[in-house]
Amino acid sequence: MALLDRAIVRLLPAVPKPVVQRLSSRYIAGPTLDDAVRVVRRLNAKGKLATVDVLGEDVTNADEARAIAGQYHDVLARIDDEGLDANISLKLTGLGLELDDDLCRENLEAVVADAAARGNFVRIDMEDSSTTDRTLQLYRRLHAEGHDNLGVVLQAYMRRTQSDLPGLDNVRLCKGIYIEPPELAFREFEAVRASFVRSLEALVAQGSYVGIATHDEQLIQESLRIVRDAGLDRERYEFQMLLGVRPDRADELVAGGHRLRVYVPYGSHWYEYSVRRLQENPKMAGQVASDIVGRVFGR
């Protein structure tokens, strides 16, 4: 990332919220479930699958956590009613992980059971390193209890990932987005890429279903090579991308015969997710600058 972009990444928390909201609108379906459904329908029409995320993390009380779980039940019902090709992605902190383990487990179990009854699937996103152990434990526990419509996420930047992957049978692999100390996570760009490739090879070798979540062209190419060399049929893996990022590349993967799932976040708690996406956008500095200039001069 260029120097100016890095400087703006650091300044982002000071950028006015309306600017952040406008700049990040391409990454978010909108505030309501209707918005998410509209976007999923559009994606499905282009041969793309979706995973719907209700925005909301770091809830402060049990009612908020139950409300988020309730929204996921609504999402599952709408997917079912409208025959959409979509599953759901959720964050355990949104279901109450930082408040009470039992509350979080109950919320998760209910959502997973609802999804199973509807023939659907739940992906547990991976958050920062303070949650990794608890997330994997809860996943393994539910899985051991017979819930098999459930998958997790591993982050290639984490040094521990190689030792976490044995026994996981449905994994989304991504680079990882949270700021972690160097003793826990690789910092160098090439080290993260190398870990991604190593982890994908290991997951494929152990027969896991893999969601290959990256927009990095070099990793897309490496991943295509790995699935081809392993002779995986298209039901054993999928590519995954974020809404608003490299949609044309996603179209090409679909045209090439690969399954491709788009992460579709919606809801009113858009701020934290938006900042993370803007921090990753290589053209962000220019966009932030031109947006502010546009506002000052009243476009």
* Cβ neighbour number for residue 85 with a 10 Å cutoff: 15
Nearer to ligand FDA by Cβ, of 61 and 130: the residue is: 130
Shortest approach of ligand FDA to residue 19 CB, angstroms?
A: 16
Site residues (CB under 6 A) for ligand FDA? 125-126, 153, 155, 174-178, 213-216, 240-242, 245-246, 263, 277, 280-282
23: left (phi over 0), alpha (psi -120 to 50) or beta: alpha
Nearer to ligand FDA by Cβ, of 94 and 296: the residue is: 94
Shortest approach of ligand FDA to residue 141 CB, angstroms?
A: 19
Contacts of 251 (CB under 8 A, 6+ apart): 46
Cα–Cα distance measured from residue 79 to residue 118, given in angstroms and rounded to the nearest whole number: 9
Shortest approach of ligand FDA to residue 25 CB, angstroms?
A: 12
β-bridge mates for residue 153, sequence order: 172
Cα–Cα distance measured from residue 208 to residue 86, given in angstroms and rounded to the nearest whole number: 20
Catalytic positions: 125, 172
Cα–Cα distance measured from residue 193 to residue 149, given in angstroms and rounded to the nearest whole number: 29
Contacts of 15 (CB under 8 A, 6+ apart): 288, 292
Nearer to ligand FDA by Cβ, of 155 and 161: the residue is: 155
Q: Tokens 């079912």 — which residue?
A: 80
Shortest approach of ligand FDA to residue 53 CB, angstroms?
A: 9
Nearer to ligand FDA by Cβ, of 35 and 128: the residue is: 128
Nearer to ligand FDA by Cβ, of 15 and 62: the residue is: 15
Q: Tokens 């409300």 — which residue?
A: 67
Shortest approach of ligand FDA to residue 219 CB, angstroms?
A: 6
Shortest approach of ligand FDA to residue 8 CB, angstroms?
A: 13
Nearer to ligand FDA by Cβ, of 62 and 280: the residue is: 280
Cα–Cα distance measured from residue 205 to residue 166, given in angstroms and rounded to the nearest whole number: 10
Helices (H), the chain: 3-11, 17-23, 33-45, 62-82, 101-117, 132-144, 161-164, 189-205, 217-229, 247-255, 271-280, 284-296
Burial 158-196 (b: 16+ CB within 10 A, else e): beebeebbeebebbbbbbbbeebeeeebbeeeeebbebb
